[in-house]
Structure 1
């Protein structure tokens, strides 16, 4: 048997606004809303579906899993994400490899690395 990654799901207390934010950042489209309890994004810069599932209580611990995203111009992309509502957590790496850890508007951490 071979498993294939099909979707990454993020728990949230408010699925639709967070899904809209991520759709704007990845140029993806919302393809399912399911009454606001399970919202799915597809296309754009996403290699798999990205979903947002409404839960009663969001975890307050550090993410066990996070998204690693790539951008051809790291500094410009980080500036754009910060302007769009992301929060800077930390700039990391050295001259051979740099990445930046950010958080989306609901506090979910993700990384953006320079990819040429």
Structure 2
């Protein structure tokens, strides 16, 4: 009866092949993750580049959309993300102030626009 079990050297070579196979699979997975993250980053950059510039002036509307609440400077911290603000041109902001739409007491768009009643 002969001993047909693999030798220690054969087992070590087998273990080496398994480690190489697992390392290749792990590297392939890492490469997929890197490629996916690069794609996301490129998409985010494209989105930022394509985003229109923030409006310089805003008008805040009330809940009924007809009631004009206030004129704001574009970067006013008081403006909420409620979707009730619409971007304005400089001329439109001045016109709204002329029509007695109140200026925001925090960002003072009337002062920035040089509007004097």
Pick the structure with more helix per residue: 2
Tell me the TM-score normalized by structure 2: 0.23
**Which structure would you say has the larger Rg?**
2
Pick the structure with more strand per residue: 1
